[in-house]
Structure 1
């Protein structure tokens, strides 16, 4: 279970000046609210509906908030298609109610879900509209999320100059205003990756050093795993295979498959491709290829991900001398 649902629930509760006891009255034990807000307990669908009704009893009613809570709950459960649907519904309801900030925030979540499903172009289409219409003030740091996601989408689409520009702005926002270390790490990762894709591995490596400092300061497991993943990829590009292996192994330990099978598949696909691109074809890469194939078999995966997995397998066979087998 993730923490996105709990974070939104806590934010909505505090905005209304409610205590745990006031929110839970006649709905659930008071201690359950604390467990929900910290991600230590999963809510039932009925409880989510009841909480939304308690938090938004007046017109226009709980519709937008209920959809928002369901979107965050689906994200925590790694059901990105369902999360995107609820986020779209919440954004539309918020727009109809004149709640521009909530509409903006949930549209950003929809775009994030699309990226997680391997649809960068659709994600970028939403984000391009959002970045030109940033709400002020922006207490939740939504522009930072938007810029970071835009950098990732542009990198995936090969639009390197635009990716670097968005990532630089995201990092500026993360360092000039109070930001959660995980948000700063995400912006730093986006910039390092965009620079590496544009063949500027020297500056990319400088940002990897910043990621290492953030790791030393402590990051949540997923953010730490993604930081190790990025550092490992860029270390491969710099020819530092030993350091790359150490970071990729640490990423594999942190990005546990039972936590998010889709993320696990993307990590193994991407990290093995990075190493294969430098002619490395050791047993560690074969293990990553097999783990990606297993994860895709479990999740379904997109056609592009399956093609990526097939190409990785073929390249590994070729580098190991199995030319005929690779050509099949």
Structure 2
């Protein structure tokens, strides 16, 4: 029988893995967490093994390997420790909802998010976990174009945000509610909740999250047709933060898409096309619904710049991708755009 390795060894590796994560060196964090999990398993330390395996999944997501992250998280979901503790089950389902949404599986994301809400409600002393689970559900429903259901979930979320909730968690919750308000075309409520989010989130606490928030806020404002200086400021803050933290290829493509949307809405069609072409060529690196948005904007920009035939091709690709993602309302919206282009070409 092999000798057990020293318990302190995997503790030291855990600390190194967390430190690498905090330094945004996700590859080093993954490698160190993998070794820490191996030793923890060898020493029968189930809690340490679980935490390091979950960190491995988070690192895989950060490096853009969503499929491997999902596979690893699914193995954790059926683990005996996860089944025993509601808080662990909620964490895994929240994570799975995010990676499924990131791969365009919106139905699966909504199902996992509902599991997270159920588990989160059973976890004792974890109001912030319940908020995060509700946040995941809202995101999945909104991306699936189930806006009324998402708004109902937002109203439930608003009731559980109390002064006792950590500012960062409250900020993410306000962010989610504002997103859905914009999707409902309620720009007043959307702007109000995003301002609350900006007041709660801090770039000094998590610059990466700050970049994501500002990009997402700008994207939702643009989707609602809010083209004003405050929207451009969000884009510029996101670009500045991203230039500092770096980010994955997916992050860079999504941020470039947001800038392209601004260019399109401000009538700078040639500049929008120049940005959109490389995004569409790299569409496999982003979620199906996000790629669909890029092809839609490229199709509209081409049509406005005098190339309706290529514009139609891009719009048809957008329609197909929205259909694949299960975003049927946006698929129907693109179908109407295609009909409009056909009529203009025939007239």
Shorter chain as denominator, the TM-score bin is 0.7 to 0.9
Q: Which runs of 5+ in 1 are unaligned?
A: 1-57
Which stretch shifts more, 241-250 or 76-85? 76-85
Query: Taking structure 1 as reference, are residues 173 and 271 closer, same or farther at Cα in structure 2, changes over 3 Å only?
Result: same
Are residue 260 (structure 1) and residue 206 (structure 2) matched? Answer: yes
* Alignment match, 2:57: 111
What SS class does the counterpart of residue 197 from structure 2 fall into?
Answer: helix
Distance in 2 between residues matched to 1:252 and 1:116, nearest whole Å: 23
Rounded Cα–Cα distance in structure 2 between residues aligned with 1:186 and 1:303: 25
Displacement of 1:116 after TM fit?
A: 4.3
Highest RCO, 1 vs 2 (Cα 8 Å, sep ≥ 6):
2
How far apart are 1:298 and its partner, in Å?
Answer: 0.9
Structure 2 residue 139 is the aligned partner of structure 1 residue 196? no
**Alpha-carbon offset, residue 101 of structure 1:** 3.3
Deviation, structure 1 residue 121: 2.8
The yes-or-no answer on 1:161 pairing with 2:91 is no
Higher helix share: 2
Q: Deviations over 1:111-138 (max 9, x none)?
A: 2233345543332121021112232674
TM superposition score normalised by structure 1: 0.76
Match of 1:89 among 35, 47, 52: 35
The CA deviation at 1:217 is 5.0
TM-score, normalised relative to structure 2: 0.72
Q: CA deviation at 1:231?
A: 0.8
Divergent runs of 4+, >6 A? none
Distance 1:261 1:115, change over 3 A: same
Give yes or no for the alignment of 1:218 onto 2:164: yes
The match for 2:197 among 251, 254, 270 is 251
Aligned partners of 2:197, 2:26: CA distance in 1, in Å? 22
- Provide Cα deviations, 1:10-59, integer angstroms capped at 9, x if missing partner: xxxxxxxxxxxxxxxxxxxxxxxxxxxxxxxxxxxxxxxxxxxxxxxx96
The CA RMSD over aligned residues, in Å, is 2.2
Where do 1:7-156 residues align within 5 Å?
Answer: 60-76=6-22, 80-135=26-81, 138-139=84-85, 141-156=87-102
1:178-213 Cα offsets, whole Å, 9 max, x none, are 141111111000111111111111121111112212
C-alpha contact 2:16 2:32 (8 A) present in aligned 1: yes
In 1, the alpha carbon distance for the partners of 2:63 and 2:210 equals 13
How far 1:280 sits from its partner (Å)?
2.3
The CA distance in 2 between the partners of 1:119 and 1:223, in whole Å, is 26
Gaps (5+ residues) in structure 2?
275-347
CA contact (8 A) 1:108 1:145 kept: no
Distance 1:162 1:140, change over 3 A: closer
The 1-side partners of 2:181 and 2:65 are apart by 27
Q: What is the count of residue pairs matched by the alignment?
A: 271
Residue 236 of structure 2 is aligned to residue 290 of structure 1: yes
